[in-house]
Structure 1
Amino acid sequence: MTSPLVDSWRLKIQHKSGFDYAGPVLSSYNEARMWPRNETHQAVLDARVEVWPPARTYRYEDYWGTVVTAFDVHAQHEALTVTATSTVETLPPGDLIETGEGASWDDLARPESVDRWYELLVGSPRTRMNAELTAIAADIRAAHATPHAAALAVCEFVRGEVTYQPGSTGVQSDARHAWELRKGVCQDISHLTVGLLRAMGLPARYVSGYLHPSPTAAIGDSVVGQSHAWVEWWVGRWTANDPTNGIPVGERHVVVGRGREYGDVPPLKGVYAGPGATGQDVEVTITRLR
């Protein structure tokens, strides 16, 4: 991925996030997950995370393999701002699995497979199912000969049933709430999809990152982008899909982290000593460089 590729994109991403407080905060301890990953379909050419008020940062990979930028602020402050800037080269989806391919239902049910992926087969707080959703998962599974075909059907089902509506839910929302409302944001749609996949017996994980909003983006134009979420499931290997948009994950997507749900990969979280926070500001700007 170091040489130019006809179908590759090069994206510059600036993600600014932070908190405003009701008064002076004496100290805060924070973690940012805004650093894209180096992996098969994307290469990080440049990345940095800057903090205001200034603080010494250090990086490590967490349990799920996400790069974490950790920092403490001990100077009195009434606001905290974190700005992550990265340049990433991405590839289109080029290795999609056909619906009849991949691991079988018997393969996924083998004890060694269940043991290997156990943490990604059980429910988490935001992905737990109710009786209605569990029954829906069983019906979809019964209607498809292969797990991969059933997974694609789940993505199509969720997209058809749950309307994407910004502002309709918050970060504490879960799959069952989104199902009851029949609307939500990409995090809700991904939580619901992951929950249904796991209910069928497919190892599934939640992916956090960025999405360039335009498939016909002009080179050099900066646009308001967004933090985004999608899903991956394991059928002999991991495969990804964006159920919010009904597309495979490709050159417009940038992976930051993976986990069981949003709680494993929040862009910014922390604890502090002082008055309550009055709000969190988030701004994402994405520029296609190539």
Structure 2
Amino acid sequence: MLLRILHTTTYRYHGSVDMAQHMVHLSPVDTPCQVVEYHALRIAPEPAARHQTTDVFGNLRTFFSLQAPHETLSVEADSRVNTHVPRPIPCKGAFADITWERARNRFLYRAGAPYDAASEFLFASPMVPRDDTFSAFARPAFSAGLPLLQAAAALMALIHTELEYKPASTGVNTPALQALHQGQGVCQDFAHIMIGCLRSLGLPARYVSGYLLTQPPPGQPRLIGADASHAWVSVYAPRPGSTEAIRSHERRTGEWFHFDPTNNRAGWGSPGEDYVVLATGRDFSDVSPMRGVIQGGAGHTLEVGVTVAPPEDIEALQET
């Protein structure tokens, strides 16, 4: 499936900004389920300096600085991504057989144990603490001896059914525990809650930012900028085998499986062909689309528009 994504961010400042520095995570990356065919990042006014790097999690990020006074800032990311149908969550075989307790025990401290990079996704992060409230909420999904991936799917379904998706019920900085207590939120909150539940049970989990192809309501046309960014979770399943076997023979020690509690969908590599992976991190703070510092200005208004559609649909809309 070929998808085009237009993600536009516009700041209008209440007063002139003298200088600014910004970092954006708006460049999709190639994965087993997607190939980036085109990407452009258009910034106005033109930056004085700009460069792209790869962060510690493997995401592409762009830094730019503005060194002349400006009252507006526009950043448009234009991407074309060819997505593929992901493999389903396995129901038999090695990864399907490992229990959640065995997976958890693989990450208990042992002197001389081999390093697994997934370990860094076990710990509390700026927006997702480890807390007994999370583990208590998750316990009904984690019965004794249940395979890890089945338990993760049960937790995804629990969040999907027990929490209410309600736009504007939370903000970008709402703590995950607060969203859980109030029982409602948006995709970012659902992802943070699921991550908090998994980590509080000793299981590695990552935050995934991206996009999801949606359809307009029946009888209504698609509108440019009417979509939104999306977020979901990837859960790490260690490769079965003894610690000694992994140390001596295995370079890849596990796989990441994707779970979307907002829509109750899951897959190996992404939750579906209609998803586009943008970036992964410990939580939203690692992969926020845009952040920075400014000198000057006295407040601002922010407009964000996202469009996800087949390229020909967007081109037709732009011509009208």
TM-score (norm 1): 0.89
> 1:206-225 residue pairs with structure 2 within 5 A?
206-214=207-215, 224-225=226-227
Aligned to 1:227: 229
Aligned to 2:65: 72
Aligned to 1:20: 12
How many equivalent pairs are there? 280
RMSD of aligned C-alpha atoms? Answer: 2.4
- Per-residue deviation, 1:215: 10
For residue 33 of structure 1, give the secondary structure of its aligned residue in structure 2.
Answer: strand
Q: 1:143 to 1:106 in 2, by over 3 A?
A: closer
Task: Please give the alpha-carbon distance, in whole angstroms, between the structure 2 residues aligned to 1:201 and 1:130.
Answer: 11
Q: 1:244 to 1:107 in 2, by over 3 A?
A: closer
Does 1:120 find its partner at 2:121? yes
Does 1:106 find its partner at 2:102? yes
Aligned to 1:6: none
Among 257, 273, 288, the residue aligned to 1:251? 273
- Per-residue deviation, 1:129: 4.5
- Per-residue deviation, 1:171: 0.6
- Per-residue deviation, 1:138: 3.9
Task: Please give the alpha-carbon distance, in whole angstroms, between the structure 2 residues aligned to 1:192 and 1:222.
Answer: 31
Query: Does the 8 A contact of 2:199 with 2:205 survive in 1?
Result: yes
> 1:1-290 residue pairs with structure 2 within 5 A?
9-55=1-47, 56-98=49-91, 101-104=96-99, 105-110=101-106, 111=109, 112=113, 116-143=117-144, 145-214=146-215, 224-236=226-238, 237-248=255-266, 249-289=271-311
Aligned to 1:3: none
Any unmatched runs of 5+ in structure 1? 1-8
> Max radius of gyration: which structure?
2
- Per-residue deviation, 1:195: 0.7
Q: 1:61 to 1:107 in 2, by over 3 A?
A: same
- Per-residue deviation, 1:103: 3.4
| Offset from partner CA, 1:61-95 (integer Å, 9 cap, x none) | 11111110110011101111100000000012224
Q: 1:195 to 1:23 in 2, by over 3 A?
A: same
| Offset from partner CA, 1:160-182 (integer Å, 9 cap, x none) | 11111111111101211111111
TM-score (norm 2): 0.81
The residue type equivalent to 1:241 in the other structure is F
- Per-residue deviation, 1:125: 2.8
Q: Which moved further from structure 2: 120-129 or 50-59?
A: 120-129
For residue 171 of structure 2, give the secondary structure of its aligned residue in structure 1.
Answer: coil
- Per-residue deviation, 1:106: 2.1
Q: Percent identity?
A: 32
| Offset from partner CA, 1:210-239 (integer Å, 9 cap, x none) | 11113999xx96663210000000113110
Q: 1:199 to 1:130 in 2, by over 3 A?
A: closer
For residue 198 of structure 2, give the secondary structure of its aligned residue in structure 1.
Answer: helix
Task: Please give the alpha-carbon distance, in whole angstroms, between the structure 1 residues aligned to 2:43 and 2:212.
Answer: 23
Any unmatched runs of 5+ in structure 2? 239-254, 313-320
Task: Please give the alpha-carbon distance, in whole angstroms, between the structure 2 residues aligned to 1:117 and 1:230.
Answer: 17
Q: 1:115 to 1:285 in 2, by over 3 A?
A: closer
For residue 161 of structure 2, give the secondary structure of its aligned residue in structure 1.
Answer: helix
Query: Does the 8 A contact of 1:102 with 1:235 survive in 2?
Result: no
- Per-residue deviation, 1:148: 1.2
For residue 226 of structure 1, give the secondary structure of its aligned residue in structure 2.
Answer: coil
Instruction: Provide runs of 4+ in structure 1 moved above 6 Å.
Output: none
Q: Which moved further from structure 2: 230-239 or 114-123?
A: 114-123
